[in-house]
Structures are given as C-alpha cells and as structure tokens.
Amino acid sequence: MDIRRAVLGTLILLVMLPLSVRAQSSIYRINVVGNKQVSRNYIIGLSGLEVGKSISSLAIEDAIKRMYKSGYFNDVIIRTENLPEGVSVEIEVKEAKTPEKITFKGNKHISTKKLKEKLTVSENSPVPDYKLFESKQNILTEYEKKGYPNAEVKTHFEEKAEKTTLVFDVKEGKKIRIKRITFIGNSAFSDRKLRRQIDTKQKSLFRKGIFIEDKLEEDKLKLQRFYRERGYITAQVQQDSVYTINDGNWLAVDITLFEGPQFKMGEITVSGESLFTEDELKDKFKLKRGDIFKFNKYEKSIADIYFAYQEEGYIYAQIADERRLRGDTADVQLSIQEGIQAHVHRINITGNEKTYDKVIRREMVLYPGDVFRRSKFLFSQRNIYYLNYFDDVVPDFAPLDNGDVDITIDVKEKAVGKFQVGVSYNARDKFYGTISIGWPNVLGRGYTLNLDWDFGTSRQSFNLGFTDPWFLDTPTSVGFDIYNTLSHWTGYYTEQRRGGAARLGRRLSFPDKFFRAYLSYKLEQISYFDFSSSYAPPPYNDLREKEWPIVGSKASVAIERDSRDLPMFASEGNLNSYSIETSGGFLGGDENFIKQTIKSYWYLNLYKKIFVGVGKCRLG
C-alpha cells in the first residue's frame, strides 16, 4: 500500500470515529480479523490497545503506525463500536506475504547477486508493499547507472507446493548513452568549458556517457554556481531537454542558459551595528569596490562577519544582506541584529565509558561562565581529538531561555594501547622473546605507561616509561624512563647500557596556544666487556684502550609549536621544534658535547583529507 494512501485512510478513519471514542472511553473487547500467519495476541500486543483501558483517536492512530512499522501488514483498519459495556474494537489486517525464495527474470546485464544487494526485502521475512516499492526503485536506479534509463521492473508472488516465491521481472530495454551535450545561450564560456564543470558526460574514449537524471539536476546547480563565482550573479539554467536521436540509440542533452551581465562590486552600507564599527565590518569583505563580484568571495565575507560576532559570543546575530543591482554594478546593504551575548552555563560529557570526565574537561578552553567564543569551542574539540583516545568527538550546544548555552561533548571511545608477546629472529640477536605493553590511557585517567622487555641468549633489554600529562591538575607533564640493555656481539664484545631519564613539559599561552616547552635530564652508564680474541679493530678505534664504564649526564631544553589537527595521520597544520642538548661540564659525566636540532614538518590537505602533502626539514 502506498504510504500516502495509508495516511489518508487513517485521517478519514479518525474523522469518522464516534465522538465518544475521540473523547476517551474504555475498551470492552478486541477482535482481530484477516490474520493468517500472525497470531491474534501478537497483533493486539503490537497495537498497544488493551481491554479495560481508555481509547482515543490518538491511541488508534499510534496503533496503526506501530502495526505498519512492524512490516507484517500491507493494510490495517481499526473499527470501533459503542456498546453499553464499553467500546468494541475490531482490528482488520491484510498481511504481507513472506517469500521463502526471491528470484529475478530478464536481467542479463546486471547479475542477480548484484541486484539482490539492492533489495530492502529478504527471504523468509514479511514483504510489505512499501519495502517492495523501495526495492524496485533501487533496482531501477542501478540500471540507470549502467545506462538503461528505460528499464522496467514488475513483481509478483508465485505460490507453488505451499511455497511462496517473490519474482522480480525485469525488462532492461536498450542501453542508451549520451551522444552530445549542447549549451544554448552561452557567450561568456564555450561549450567545452561548461562541459568540464558538470559530471554528466558525453560518450568518449574514456567516458561512458551514462545519463542519470538526479546527476543532471545537480549539474544544473553546479553550472549556476560556476557562473556566479565569476561575477554572473543573475545567471540561471532556464531549462534542459533530454531526447533520443539516431533511431533511439543515443541521447542528446540541451541546456539553455541565461548568463546576464558580469557584475562588479559597488558600495557597501551597514546598519544596526554597535559591537563593531562600519569600517571594521567592511574590512572583512573579500571584495573591494570595482572587483568582479565573485559570489564565493561574497559568501565568505558574510561568513567572516558572522564568525566575528560569534567570536564575541553573539551567536544569535542575524545579518540580512540585500544586493541592489544597477547596470553591471551590485551594491550591498547589510542590516544587522546583534542580539544578546551568550555565556557558557554548563558543560556535559557523554559517550565516555572508560575515560574519566576530568580527562576530557581539562582539555577544554571554555568554562562555565565564560563568553561562548566559537574559536575556543572548536579548539576544545581539537584538543580532545588530540588525546587520540577517541574515534569521534562531536561538540554541540543548546541555547537556554536566557540566551546562555549548555555545551555537550559527545565522544566515541576507541580501542587504545597494545599488548604483544612474541618470538623474533634476526641475524645479529638470533632468537629472542618479546613482551611489549603500550597503555596510553591508564585506567581512564590519561596516564601513559610503556613497558618493553626483550630476552634471549644474545640480547636482554628492559625499558619502562610513565607519563602524567596533567601533574597536580596543571598543564604540566611529568614523566620518567628507566632502562637496561645487554647485547652480546658474537666475535666482538658485550655492550651494556643502563640508566634513566626524567621529563618535564609545560603548555604555553605565549606566543600562542600551540606552543610547549620541555626539559629533560638523562643519566646513563655505558660498559663494554668480554672482548673476544677475534676482536681486532684499528688502533684508533679499539674499545679495549678505554676505561669502562663511562657515565653520560645529559640535559636538554626544547621549544615546540604543534598546530597539527591530529598527532597521527595529520592532514593539516605544522610541527616545528628547536632543541639544545648538552652533556658534561657542570652536569658531570665523561662525555662533553652540545647539540642543537631544528625540525619542521608541514602538512597540507590537498583533497578531502585523502591526499595530504607533507614537507620535512631537519637541521642539526
């Protein structure tokens, strides 16, 4: 049954209900007719109607909706009769058929498997009329994409040996492609130039030339936007015509355009402003007097004015823009209603099952009582993403009656961390076992724990690291590392390195919010022993001539600016750092050096974050 018919039938039924039912009466009894496969009790339960409870037009409407939504029925009629004992209700249903099998006939150019993927019905499940209609439309759409715009699909049920089969009978028709696309009324741009702007293409060596009606509608909007972005702000697609040629084997597409004149920017006038001066608002326009009136720049200018107000908390500001055309000039009048300033009332965190609210809240740069600033709202989202604990971070806000807002941060947690146990082999270390633990959100509190342990006959290595990114609830990170590595170099010597490091970091607000500073100290003991009799290096590189162990005492300072959108797989932003490391001197130890390093990484989003350009530079 067509959904519109069902709704119309429901409305007519409600109008015809007795006045007493519409007012509210108690149900005396419920009868069900027309059911063959679905039980009476299930239908009554599905309807939500109960003996002894009141009935109203709204209750009947809800019952019909629930029964249609179940998918078991093609038609539902609820009748009522007033009796001295109460209201007698009769539910009449027409059940949807349940096919044990679904088959296709007549499909030659699209496989049955492919067509079945487009169905919204399935075997051994009820097939209501609306789902059958959806399935037919999906099949027709698939044929249209393959170049069969005249395909037809009919359906019927076959009853054989008490088994029901749903048959899709397909008439594919001819495969028709587009022979030519012609533009009428264009003088500013050639047909060839305009064809490049649309997705509908003529048949060529590299183009299939398939006609899809919905795509042509989208192309008409693309053409209009193409013209408006080049100053033709009154340009329109007046009509299109699609018809067959060459005995019906090909399609021709004619698109009639009205270009109009190319407009230039005229005067800008502003009214209703008080937060900003008229000159400040005019400065935000990307178009200056005499410039070609490129509509994309015009829209960007209006958006920038909105952003300026939102940055000051005026999220309810309204900007009415009116373009007055005179000759080939477009004057702009902006009428502004600034509204009231919004403040943050409450911040809610949802979706976090493992991570504590505190870990998320401390990444926010907006707090209750603050002016609701757009940039801080979005930067808070970026900071939470940057934790790398979540697949998705969706910020939202709800206006309150007094104009303030409640913020909701909805997160979707992802599996984080690693635990690996294995056995590895290489030519140097031979066989050795490995246990590795990486836990970036320990107990949901934001701590980071790393443990790596390698053990074998030629190599033993242990490394433990821990970081608290918000020490004492301040934007200060504190961490440490301890390690011990023993490597047996067959035919040479045994090398041992052991030590530890302490780390300190701090987020900075100057020069901007992307800066951080780091300080670290590392103390290490290095030893070489068990020299092999076959060890015979050049005299100037003979490790036996040195006294072991030696001690390395190193300190480093680093400044970093990180504006990347993500710490891993970044698509935009940059990471720049400068560090200086010193060893020996006032730090003691047996090594003396100073090392400076400059690193720079730049990320450029080339196409929808799928293709990203990366530039790298390292000095030092």
Residue 566: CATH number of its domain: 2.40.160.50
Q: Which two tokens stand for residue 285?
A: 């326009």
Q: Which two tokens stand for residue 39?
A: 């039980």
On whether both 570 and 442 belong to a single domain, the answer is yes
**Is the Cβ–Cβ distance between 220 and 227 less than 8 Å?**
no
The Cα-based distances of 574 to 533, 561, 597 in angstroms read 52, 8, 17
Whether 428 has a pLDDT exceeding 70, the answer reads: no
Strands 177-184 and 250-258: parallel
pLDDT at 21: 44
Three-state DSSP state, 220: helix
Name the DSSP letter for residue 17: S
Whether 2 has a pLDDT exceeding 60, the answer reads: no
On whether both 70 and 110 belong to a single domain, the answer is no
Whether 14 has a pLDDT exceeding 90, the answer reads: no
Whether 197 has a pLDDT exceeding 70, the answer reads: yes
* Phi, psi for residue 40 in degrees, rounded to 5: -60, -45
Query: How many whole angstroms separate alpha carbon 202 and alpha carbon 219?
Result: 14
**Residue 353, domain extent:** 344-413
Boundary of a domain, candidates 143, 171, 199: 171
Give the per-residue SS3 of 250-310.
EEEEEEEEECCCCCEEEEEEEECCCCCCHHHHHHCCCCCCCCECCHHHHHHHHHHHHHHHH
On whether both 22 and 137 belong to a single domain, the answer is no
Give tens-digit pLDDT for 525-562: 999 999 998 999 998 889 988 899 999 999 999 999 99
Query: How many whole angstroms separate alpha carbon 526 and alpha carbon 542?
Result: 16
Residue 248: pLDDT band (50, 70, 90) is confident
Q: Which two tokens stand for residue 495?
A: 């090398």
Name the DSSP letter for residue 273: -
pLDDT at 429: 66
- Number of Cβ within a 10 Å radius of residue 239: 11
Name the DSSP letter for residue 292: B
Higher pLDDT, 73 or 422: 73
On whether both 118 and 183 belong to a single domain, the answer is no
Higher pLDDT, 418 or 471: 471
On whether both 387 and 403 belong to a single domain, the answer is yes
On whether both 377 and 427 belong to a single domain, the answer is no
Environment class of residue 440 by beta-carbon count within 10 Å: exposed (0-12), middle (13-18) or buried (19+)? middle
Whether 20 has a pLDDT exceeding 70, the answer reads: no
130: closest CA among 69, 77, 76?
69
Environment class of residue 71 by beta-carbon count within 10 Å: exposed (0-12), middle (13-18) or buried (19+)? middle
Give tens-digit pLDDT for 312-325: 999 999 999 999 99
Tell me the percentage of the chain whose pLDDT exceeds 90.
79
On whether both 514 and 566 belong to a single domain, the answer is yes
Query: How many whole angstroms separate alpha carbon 228 and alpha carbon 197?
Result: 13
Higher pLDDT, 248 or 172: 172
**pLDDT (mean) for 185-201:** 95
On whether both 59 and 106 belong to a single domain, the answer is no
pLDDT at 217: 94
Higher pLDDT, 111 or 610: 111
On whether both 243 and 182 belong to a single domain, the answer is yes
User: For the sheet containing 264-271, what is the strand order?
Assistant: 264-271, 329-337, 318-326
CATH number of the domain that 142 lies in?
Answer: 3.10.20.310
pLDDT at 24: 52
Whether 13 has a pLDDT exceeding 60, the answer reads: no
**pLDDT (mean) for 394-421:** 93
Residue 160: pLDDT band (50, 70, 90) is confident
Residue 424: pLDDT band (50, 70, 90) is confident
Boundary of a domain, candidates 239, 258, 277: 258
**pLDDT (mean) for 8-27:** 51
324: closest CA among 272, 260, 258, 268?
268
Beta bridge partners of 448: 467
On whether both 436 and 580 belong to a single domain, the answer is yes
Strands 163-171 and 152-160: antiparallel
Whether 9 has a pLDDT exceeding 70, the answer reads: no
Q: Cα 107–111–117 angle (5° rounding)?
A: 110
Boundary of a domain, candidates 71, 95, 119: 95
pLDDT at 121: 94
The structural domain count of the chain equals 6
Query: How many whole angstroms separate alpha carbon 509 and alpha carbon 481?
Result: 28
